Amino acid sequence: MSEHKYREAESRDYFYKIINSIPDPIFVKDRAHRWVLLNEAHAQMIGIPTEEMLGKTDHDYFPKAQADVFWAKDEVVFETGTENVNEELWTDSKGIRHVIVTKKNLYIDDKGNKFIVGVIRDITDLKNTQEKLKEAKDAQSRFTSVVSHELRTPLAAIRTGVNIILDGLSGPINYEQRDFLEIVKNNIERLSRLINDVLDFQKLDSGKMHFVMKTNDINEVIQEVHKAMHHLVEKKYLKFELNLDEKIPHFSFDRDKFVQLVTNLVNNAIAFTDKGSIAITSKLEGELVHVAIKDTGVGISAESLSKLFNPFEQAERNDSGKRQGTGLGLAICREIILKHKGKIWVESKPAEGSVFHFTLPLGGK
């Protein structure tokens, strides 16, 4: 054997060792749709020796209807050079069903001959895992919904009882009793908000939250929130400023969701601002509406900024140790904005306050 032929044989042997070490089935077909190369994984999957399949086509092994489909898809690859990726069910020689993905690409050699190179991947385990995760997530959603709804009934009864006593309908109470009852009332409201946040996030996360998209006035929504929350801001002796762009046209969005959004952001500002002011601005920027809620509070560390919109994250502000709510408020805000194809972000530095921004496309694009 000549040196050239020896090296050629050695290279061929090396090549076959490589493809046979690959666990995914690999095949190569010529322009006549005949198998010209198969690795050992392919033979193990099909259950037919490689030597038997070489030189034959799909029509020699599969029902005509199925073979015709394979043939047609191969022809598209041969004619266009476009990659074909196909997911399908396949039953092996033992009668076990698998989910496989076949990826086919065109290869043209130095002489212009066309070949299809295919790789098959068994994704049965992945599909099973995804299905189990979906079932677990559905079960978690059902559990969260049931528990949250069950908590609402006794909570409503407790709230009613406390309000009756505070209003003096059950008889006079002294200042110390009133102080204790006010603490109870505040914690009832906090628990109620927690339940609502959990339910809202569960609906958003599962895609079950219904959005009513109608033409609305974003400035009107901001003014509504400003009016509703003015007394909370005044209780902390803060200024509550508005700077609204009257040129913003009416556009389509879910009004109730945006009342919730702006309310969450203002509540967030109130919680972490002890002096100074809170300001809401709106501005028309081309085809976008830009809204910002600015506070002069304790600010946010760089480490906390990156996780601020993550569910159940309660970032401490400026190492103050302050934590508020469930850690879901800002995550809900982000989901509402994303459903409207907008963007939300925050700018902040410790001891310099924070500015929460969101933008919305006027055309919903």
Domain identity same for 173 and 305: no
Asked whether residue 36 falls in the same domain as residue 118, the answer is yes
* Neighbouring C-beta atoms of residue 317, cutoff 10 Å: 23
Among 68, 97, 122, the domain-final residue is 122
CATH classification at residue 283: 3.30.565.10
Quick one: pLDDT band at residue 302, thresholds 50, 70, 90?
Answer: confident
Instruction: Quick: pLDDT tens for 84-115.
Output: 998 888 777 677 888 999 999 999 999 999 99
CATH of the domain at 200: 1.10.287.130
CATH number of the domain at 63, please.
3.30.450.20
Same domain, 95 and 164: no
What is the rounded average pLDDT of the residues 2-13?
A: 66
For 118, residues 6+ apart whose C-beta sits below 8 A from its C-beta are 26, 27, 28, 29, 102, 103, 104, 105
Residues 151, 159: Cα–Cα separation, whole Å? 12
Q: Are residues 30 and 113 in the same domain?
A: yes
Domain boundary among the residues 98, 122, 146 is at 122
| Residue of 186 and 353 predicted with greater confidence | 353
Amino acid at 96: I
Based on the domain organization, do 22 and 117 belong to the same domain? yes
Mean pLDDT rounded to a whole number for the chain: 86
Q: Does residue 232 sit in the same domain as residue 347? A: yes
Which long-range contacts (C-beta less than 8 Å, at least 24 apart) are formed by 281-284?
281/242, 281/243, 281/244, 281/245, 282/218, 282/219, 282/222, 282/243, 282/244, 282/245, 282/248, 283/245, 283/248, 284/245, 284/247, 284/248, 284/249
With a CB cutoff of 8 Å and minimum separation 6, the contacts of 347 are: 354, 355, 357
* DSSP three-state, residue 225: helix
Residue 359 has pLDDT above 70, yes or no: yes
Is the pLDDT confidence value at 59 over 50? yes
Mean pLDDT within 203-221: 84
48 and 175 housed in the same domain: no
Q: What is the domain extent for residue 132?
A: 128-206
| Residue bearing the bigger pLDDT, 192 or 348 | 348
105 and 160 part of one domain? no
The pLDDT score that the predictor gives to residue 318 is 45
Last residue of a domain, one of 206, 228, 262: 206
- The helix (run of H) or strand (run of E) holding residue 26 is strand 26-29
Q: Are residues 98 and 143 in the same domain?
A: no
Asked whether the beta carbons of 292 and 348 are under 8 A apart, the reply is no
Contact at 8 Å (CB) between 42 and 26?
Answer: yes
Check whether 206 has a pLDDT greater than 80: no
Q: Rounded CA gap, 50 and 46, in Å?
A: 10
Same domain, 160 and 245: no
Is pLDDT above 70 for 324?
A: no
Q: Residues 223, 338: one domain?
A: yes
Q: How many helices (H) and strands (E) does the chain have?
A: 10, 12
Total structural domains in the chain? 3
Query: Is residue 201 located within the same domain as residue 284?
Result: no
pLDDT at 315: 53
